[in-house]
Chains A and B, each alone.
Chain A
Amino acid sequence: MNRTLSNKQLTDDLVRPVFNTSVWFYAVVFAAGTVVACGAVAWGYQLWYGIGLSGKRWPTFWALYLTNFVFWIGISHAGTLISAILRLVNAGWRRPVTRCAEVITVFALMIGAMFPIIHLGRPWLAFWLFPYPSAREIWPNFRSPLAWDFFAINTYLTGSLLFLFLPMIPDFALIRDRATGWRRTFYGTLSFGWRGTTKQWNRLESAMQIMAVAILPVAVSVHTIVSFDFSMANVPMWHSTIFGPYFVAGAIFSGIAGLIIAMAALRKALHLEHYLLPLHFENLGKLLLLMAILWGYFVFNERLTVWYGNEPHEMAVFWATQRGAYAPLYWTMVICNFVLPLAILMNPYTRGIIGCVVASTGVVIGMWLERFLIIVPSLTHKQLPYSWGTYQPTPVELLIMAATFAAMILLYTLFAKFVPIIAIWEMKAGLPSRMDQSVLDEERLQSTRLGSEPLPDAIGQGGAQR
């Protein structure tokens, strides 16, 4: 934290975007909004004419929409790692990063959860997945991984929404106190009459602690259950026991990459250079490196087992990805997910903000390709060679996919406008003036070792500056 950081300056900096709007905000919202609108039109077109407007065919019944579904649910694991795990291990550096991460989770989940509806043949009947007592006494088939998906994603979405919203209440109260006019009413309602008594703070922190503990197994279960969509079917190279941990690791991997990109964009757009420090990117970059190595480990495990086993059905898929039609995509994925991150992130000199963003962009592309390469090569090379096929995406699918990326940008920009993207009370609680001497010593030791900006010198200095 900056040596001149004071309580007041912190509040002013972080609340400024809520009160001041730059022209860039309108530009981004307009641009992203246009793409989203185009995507909505494309989807309407598809609803009217039939899912045949997508590139799906016999035997590739799942393709781009499912790829995007798994991809976005994967991105949503950013928040859980940062908020929940780092909160539970009391890592102080998480404070400015928490809300950025949790917002990604919520919006990525919402976008990801759209795709099972978009890919349905009859989406107007999607409500049959909801367990309601119907007149015919028929319920969803709870044995189906898609029914598990429904429960898992809704549980995770509910949990994440609450996990995001509850700590926003004190910040809404803060804005309410500074605002006038419509903002006062708006934030006043959202703040639920929060005052900030010690009892309220204690209850909020207890709730956050419990939810952090609860949401971790839910997050692990969500992506495991998404992986079950594949591993429960006897399709070559889908029916693998590694899919559960493989998908969870991949999700956390792509989530951290998404978070780094979002943070870099916020830092630039909202002038948060004193809050989102090189230290944060350094730490996240190290985590990204770790996940890249872990990803490589899982892929090696899976592929060696298949190659060694030499089972004809599986080897057909194996060779299709290594040397066949999907080889260019496969090797691009390996470079983006493994070679590039390791090259950039292993070296402390290249592990700065730009390096991390470059590596993260590669990872996002690579992880999207990985999802695609899990789904399509296997479906196009099933057990009976007569049923082998191909796949080509259509403009409708690509437009809807582009619209979801635009939707993420749009939602994120709108959020950063209406809510302080860095939790003000969490930052204040982490200021040196508010903390124990022992915690301060530890942080100072850490920051000087890494060569980033040193902390303020004395306790009590922050509070006295008004």
Chain B
Amino acid sequence: MAHRWGMAVDLDKCTGCEACVTACHAENNIPTVSAEQAARGRAMHWIRVERYFEGDFPDVRVKFRPVLCQQCDNAPCEAVCPTYASHHNEDGLNAQVYNRCIGTRYCANACPYNVRFFNFFNPEWPKPLHLQLNPDVSIREVGVMEKCTFCVQRIKAAKTTAKAENRALVDGALQPACAQSCPTTAIVFGDLNDPNSRVARLARSPRGWKLLEDLGAEPKITYLHKQPWYESDAQ
């Protein structure tokens, strides 16, 4: 049966430590940019922790959530790419084909979650950081769009190994870098098509909601939060 990779992010457990951000950078060879370029908005964080501050001192409340590519089933970023660099693959992921991207950046505009990032310059890794690069992930050149792939290199490796060993994938064994590094296991990854997987059960939780659900993009990440996100929804 085909897989349908999804994720559940438990905001009640998330501490905002950003270990997921760091792990993602390390796993996916995401370039870091200079301080000046970051100030100009060129930083690339495939997963980011959004922070919102509400109220005035001393009643300040902080809300935060990790936001990454929602791998939407009805992704607005796919139809607008003129070269098919962004399309839907059989596992339900939104595939970004670096070699096919000519950098029109329409997909980034169409994405309501703003989870797509662009290589404005050729990435550089000052020595000896180049030794830390992950050999399983290609490096993107200038002019190419990139975003969270649910660590597709790990998915592919796991599927290949399972096929070679003639067995099914074990739920929880395959994890993207962010889920693997989260200290509170707030990020759960798995196959939504398997009704017994953790992520499928969490997706059915009454605490679950989807980000910008009314836009109809059908995101596959379920956020779990006991308190309503918006004050106006509080009972």
Contact = CB atoms under 8 A, between A and B. Distances in A.
- Do A and B share a direct contact in the complex (Cβ within 8 angstroms)? yes
- A-B interface, 9 closest residue pairs, ranked by CB to CB distance from nearest: A121-B103, A121-B143, A52-B120, A57-B41, A387-B114, A122-B143, A61-B105, A386-B50, A146-B82
A150 B82 CA distance: 10
B103 A122 contact: yes
21 contacts: A50-B122, A51-B120, A51-B143, A52-B37, A58-B117, A61-B108, A62-B109, A120-B103, A128-B100, A128-B102, A138-B84, A144-B79, A234-B110, A234-B217, A235-B109, A235-B110, A235-B112, A382-B114, A384-B67, A386-B48, A387-B114
A363 to B, nearest CB: 27
Interface in B10-63: 37, 40-44, 48, 50-52
A50 B121 contact: yes
Interface in B178-203: none
B82 to A, nearest CB: 4
B171 to A, nearest CB: 31
A126 B102 CA distance: 7
A5 B211 CA distance: 73
A11 interface: no
Contacts of B76: 233-234
A268 interface: no
- Name which of A145, A383, A385 has the most chain B CB atoms within 10 A of its CB: A383
Contact of A121 (B50, B80, B102): B102
B83 interface: yes
Interface residues of A, number: 45
Contacts of B109: 61-62, 233, 235, 379
A389 interface: yes
Contacts of A385: 52
A323 B198 CA distance: 48
Interface of A: 49-52, 55-62, 116, 119-123, 125-126, 128-129, 138, 140-141, 143-147, 150, 229, 232-235, 379, 382-387, 389-390
A386 B104 contact: no
Given A57-B41, A123-B102, A379-B109, 12 more contacts: A50-B121, A58-B108, A59-B114, A61-B108, A62-B105, A121-B142, A121-B145, A129-B102, A229-B106, A235-B109, A384-B50, A386-B67
Contacts of A128: 82-83, 100, 102
A146 B106 contact: yes
A30 to B, nearest CB: 35
B87 to A, nearest CB: 8
A382 B122 CA distance: 27
Contacts of B170: none
A234 B141 CA distance: 28
A57 B79 contact: no
Interface string B93-118: 00000001111111011101110011
B215 to A, nearest CB: 6
Interface of B: 37, 40-44, 48, 50-52, 67, 76, 79-84, 100-106, 108-110, 112-114, 117-122, 141-145, 211-212, 215, 217
A429 B41 CA distance: 61
Nearest to B99: A125
Contact of B104 (A60, A146, A235, A390): A146
Contact of A144 (B43, B82, B121): B82
- Majority DSSP secondary structure for residues of A touching B: loop
A425 to B, nearest CB: 42
A57 B42 contact: yes
B59 to A, nearest CB: 20
A390 B42 CA distance: 12
Contacts of A51: 103, 120, 142-143
- Name which of A232, A379, A387 has the most chain B CB atoms within 10 A of its CB: A387
Contacts of A379: 109
Contacts of B144: 121-122
A390 B40 CA distance: 9
B40 A384 contact: no
B103 A144 contact: no
Contact of B81 (A52, A122, A144, A229): A144
- Name which of B76, B105, B217 has the most chain A CB atoms within 10 A of its CB: B105
A119 B120 CA distance: 11
Given A129-B82, A141-B84, A143-B79, A234 B102 contact: no
A58 B106 contact: no
B102 A52 contact: no
A203 B110 CA distance: 48
A122 B82 contact: no
B102 A122 contact: yes
A146 B143 contact: no
A121 B110 contact: no
- Name which of B37, B83, B211, B215 has the most chain A CB atoms within 10 A of its CB: B83
B142 A50 contact: yes
Contact of A52 (B43, B51, B110, B121): B121
Contacts of B113: 383-384, 387
- Name which of A60, A61, A234 has the most chain B CB atoms within 10 A of its CB: A61
